[in-house]
């Protein structure tokens, strides 16, 4: 044993020396499992010196787990999800997924482009939600590349055929996840097309900044959304086309406010239609520039999440459809209000509202949406 030890140490050190920047951010491949039909789902594990690590899987180019330290330094997985691929495939909550081609809703699944009327697959009260019956969240993406060094990253891609779910044009999409040593996880979504079409890609992570199941409700979390306006919706959550001020409504999160403070305000029609929060906020500042969209702070664990984006809006969804029937990866039954979902994106139903920023994509141009999750702790 004593004779063997120096040999083993030498091998281990040799392996370290061969790495690009030993001890820096690392990306490594793993297998996550297989779908019931045998399709293998791959994983890429990203880790950094900050103690943050994330697992990205090829089913839906999604975040399957994300560990960040709480104020005592204890790491916990702060996203909802499952331990096996088939559970993701059978579930309708889009946990951690890349959603598209069009994140959020398109009224009746219809839109017109250059005089041509398109009918999309409908899957939500007669409307099209998050890409239709089988959106990007249920597609198996390809790992294009991984890198380690100053930051760890993975790029996954998917080619969506012309006409898929009713959308025109062959669309080439990439999702790049980059974990840096500064405590940030960044997502770059890019898309190109061979015919005029529409696109709206977003990340659908359900954050829960708790340090354990006892403090799981997100209702005491302090939320701040950097938006003075929002897009009101009708009973089936399709925008009316109006852009209204948040001032004087339960949607005013311009200052840090406990999520639970107004969530039961039955006098507010928007809260009633959404069963809580499920609205698109019009972000202050200029779309196309990276600016803060929101900040969530869990006073119990000390974790703070800030979300930055280049997108014009952010959907804040308070996990209203979680009913205790879905059992997550750690055996926790997910209930209403157990998560904060912040989806930076174009406005819902944008193709049907001339006054909303355009979601059109033409051949020869590249769509790009940046989302940055910045993690820290408050002592």
Residues classed as catalytic = 204, 343
Which of 160, 71, 3 minimizes the C-alpha distance to 376? 71
Residue 146 vs 341, nearer CB to ligand GLA? 341
Residues 101-120 that bind ligand GLA (CB under 6 A): 104
Using the rule CB under 6 A, is 127 a contact of ligand GLA? no
Q: Which of 129, 185, 293, 326 binds ligand GLA (CB under 6 A)?
A: 129
DSSP state of 138: G
The Cα–Cα gap between 339 and 199 comes to 26
What's the CA gap between 153 and 44, in Å, rounded?
9
For the chain, the first-to-last Cα distance in angstroms comes to: 46
**Shortest distance, position 15 Cβ to ligand GLA, whole Å:** 43
315 makes contact with ligand GLA (CB under 6 A): yes
User: What is the total residue count of the chain?
Assistant: 379
Among 32, 89, 141, 317, binds ligand GLA (CB under 6 A): 317
128 binds ligand GLA (CB under 6 A): no
Query: Among 52-60, 76-84, 315-323, 369-377, which window interacts with ligand GLA (CB under 6 A)?
Result: 315-323
How many CB atoms neighbour CB 232 within 10 A?
Answer: 18
| Cα–Cα nearest to 281, from 225, 320, 242, 319 | 225
Residues 273-302, interacting with ligand GLA (CB under 6 A): 278
Rule CB under 6 A: is residue 341 a binding residue for ligand GLA? yes
DSSP string of 242-256, one letter each residue: --EE-TTSTT--SS-
Say if residue 14 is exposed, middle or buried (CB neighbours under 10 Å; 0-12, 13-18, 19+): exposed
By CB under 6 A, residue 208 contacts ligand GLA: no
270 is a contact residue toward ligand GLA (CB under 6 A): no
Identify which of residues 184 and 349 has a Cβ nearer to ligand GLA in the complex. 349
Catalog residues that contact ligand GLA under the rule CB under 6 A: 93-94, 104, 129, 278, 315, 317, 321, 341, 343
């Amino acid at each position: 044993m004593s004779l063997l030890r120096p040999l083993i140490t030498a091998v281990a050190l040799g392996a370290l020396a061969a790495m690009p920047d030993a001890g820096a951010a690392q990306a490594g491949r793993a297998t996550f499992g297989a779908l019931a039909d045998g399709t293998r789902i791959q994983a890429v594990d990203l880790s950094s010196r900050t103690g943050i690590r994330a697992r990205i899987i090829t089913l839906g180019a999604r975040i399957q787990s994300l560990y960040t330290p709480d104020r005592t330094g204890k790491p916990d997985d702060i996203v909802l999800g499952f331990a096996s691929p088939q559970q993701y495939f059978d579930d309708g909550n889009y946990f951690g997924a890349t959603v598209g081609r069009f994140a959020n809703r398109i009224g009746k699944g219809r839109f017109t482009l250059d005089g041509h009327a398109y009918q999309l697959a409908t899957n939500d009260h007669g409307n099209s939600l998050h890409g239709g019956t089988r959106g990007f969240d249920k597609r198996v993406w390809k790992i294009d590349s991984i890198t380690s060094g100053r930051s760890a990253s993975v790029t996954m891609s998917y080619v969506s055929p012309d006409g898929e779910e009713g959308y025109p044009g062959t669309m080439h999409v990439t999702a790049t996840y980059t974990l840096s040593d500064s405590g940030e996880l960044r997502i770059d979504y890019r898309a190109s097309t061979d015919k005029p079409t529409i696109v709206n890609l977003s990340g659908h992570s359900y954050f829960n900044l708790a340090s354990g199941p006892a403090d799981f409700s997100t209702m005491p979390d302090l939320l701040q959304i950097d938006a003075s306006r929002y897009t009101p919706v009708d009973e089936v959550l399709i925008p009316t086309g109006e852009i209204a001020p948040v001032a004087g409504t339960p949607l005013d999160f311009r200052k840090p406010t406990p999520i639970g403070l107004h969530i039961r305000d039955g006098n507010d029609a928007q809260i009633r239609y959404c069963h809580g929060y499920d609205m698109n906020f019009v972000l202050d500042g200029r779309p196309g520039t990276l600016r803060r969209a929101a900040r969530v702070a869990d006073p119990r664990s000390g974790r703070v999440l800030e979300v930055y984006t280049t997108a014009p809006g952010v959907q804040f969804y308070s996990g209203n459809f979680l009913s205790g029937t879905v059992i997550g990866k750690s055996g926790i039954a997910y209930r209403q209000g157990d998560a904060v979902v912040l989806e930076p994106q174009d406005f819902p139903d944008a193709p049907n509202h001339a006054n909303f920023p355009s979601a059109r994509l033409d051949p020869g141009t590249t769509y790009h949406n940046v989302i940055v999750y910045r993690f820290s702790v408050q002592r």
